[in-house]
Structure 1
């Protein structure tokens, strides 16, 4: 056990201590927890390093440093230590994302050396529910995407990502990593869609992160020509039913604060705001 207040890169032998920190906020930390439960703390398998902050020898905070930089249970002193380490390492991530307070502090410290960002989304309400609403009936046409439907779901995923993030996920490596991620979600039964009579996707969403305590819905999208027809709320209700029945007792998502239509839809389905995330996009 360390006897001083310090930060360091965690090793595979630190797994139980890291999981104990993650378990303090199972909903907020679902994304990182799901990765750690599968990959452990080996950087190659995890897709990045896990940094730890120690207070008087006890691990109290984490920061995932991979494709995203994610502060976890991080107070001001931990954030400062993580910012110092991130500055020394140089920017390798495509975004900083996490609880709004810690992420805002982290970005203030990193912006002079890492800025400017392509976009900063300062408040993205975290919405949570553990039950179905009786206000919206699930769409019976929304179902799990089959493995032989990759050619149909992939264009919808690319369109959603491009619309949401502002850049195509096919840039850089030609989309190999993104296609692999979509295939993983389809293969594990966590990709859902409604198809029209011609086999085109008209609504889709995924359960992107899943632990035994919480899961996170992502990638909610309605084809532009079908918007305004009332598909989003029943579609979300269907995905939520799958999430709560098959995946975890609590479902969450986070949404841009300026997306008032989506926030209304999620409220109708039964989600309530329980905090806020922040994203810095490069």
Structure 2
């Protein structure tokens, strides 16, 4: 995690002819235009705008900072919450955002987003050690019906499924990230699991004994695109092809909310990439993730 530092002030991050500041409600239209430049890559912040209707900070305490040119036009932005998420950040803006991050009092679990911006910001931080740097994560997307038949047993989960679903979510997180999301307290993580269930963004197939055998969620949903996360098959059921039909079912559910369905995957996860390709996903970009 990033260490605490002095509070950030806008005057510390002003390249010649540019200004970096926190966004406010008055910047909402400009931020919407910015995320619209790439609705798939920017779906995380686009989903915030769709849910809250403002570029101002979220109730969670997260905020968005942006770089403006000399005419006051928003050129790029960066979400600062539990994670750092760049929005249309070119490499030459990275130092300014790194300065904001370095002088904030926040602790971040990760930086993720388009690879060039993510890795440039991390390089400019030149201090915090990362637990893992995933430099090339194919960003995949599809529009239209899946190429394989959806699994009819995959359904939207309900509040009654929480006690069965939550352990599967924890297992997926531990496999993917390398530590337990409930270590030191489970309240925040389980709140997020419940939130996704309440939103209708959580999907699962349950086995004969009631156990979760496949699951996935929509982590971000905007009017233009959704992003799938947390895809997981119970270990004893791997190799049975559940992910093909399962992902096809998730796509069908997601298309009711937004026309484009996306996700990003580790480049070394060849089996998952082959499965997504079979369902109909194609690479549209490259993400990177820095885990602290």
TM class by shorter-chain length? over 0.9
**1:22/1:159 CA distance change after superposition, 3 Å:** same
1:51 aligned residue: 65
Q: CA deviation at 1:48?
A: 1.1
1:193 aligned residue: 204
Normalized per residue, the structure richer in helix is 1
Q: 1:139 aligns with which of 151, 155, 161?
A: 151
Q: CA deviation at 1:33?
A: 1.3
2:124 aligned residue: 109
What SS does the corresponding residue of 2:113 show, helix, strand or coil?
strand
1:278 aligned residue: 288
Structure 1 gap segments, 5+ residues each? none
Query: Residue deviations 1:142-200, cap 9 Å, x none?
Result: 1111111100110110100111011111023x111111111111111111100011111
Aligned length: 275
For residues 147 and 125 of structure 1, the distance between their equivalents in structure 2, rounded to whole angstroms, comes to: 33
**Is structure 2 residue 180 aligned with structure 1 residue 168?**
yes
What SS does the corresponding residue of 1:171 show, helix, strand or coil?
coil
Q: 2:49 aligns with which of 23, 36, 42?
A: 36
Q: CA deviation at 1:76?
A: 2.4
For residues 239 and 71 of structure 1, the distance between their equivalents in structure 2, rounded to whole angstroms, comes to: 27
For residues 88 and 189 of structure 1, the distance between their equivalents in structure 2, rounded to whole angstroms, comes to: 38
**Is structure 2 residue 274 aligned with structure 1 residue 259?**
no
Contact 1:128 1:253 in 2 (8 A): yes
Contact 1:49 1:66 in 2 (8 A): yes
Q: CA deviation at 1:4?
A: 4.1
Q: CA deviation at 1:278?
A: 0.4
Q: 1:250 aligns with which of 250, 257, 260?
A: 260
Structure 2 gap segments, 5+ residues each? 1-15
Query: Residue deviations 1:195-246, cap 9 Å, x none?
Result: 01111100000111101100001100000010111111110011111111x1
What does 1:185-224 correspond to in 2, within 5 Å? 185-224=196-235
For residues 207 and 37 of structure 1, the distance between their equivalents in structure 2, rounded to whole angstroms, comes to: 14
1:183 aligned residue: 194
Q: 1:98 aligns with which of 113, 125, 150?
A: 113
2:38 aligned residue: 25
The more displaced of 90-99 and 100-109 is 90-99
The more displaced of 12-21 and 57-66 is 12-21
What SS does the corresponding residue of 1:274 show, helix, strand or coil?
strand
For residues 91 and 264 of structure 2, the distance between their equivalents in structure 1, rounded to whole angstroms, comes to: 23
**1:46/1:15 CA distance change after superposition, 3 Å:** farther
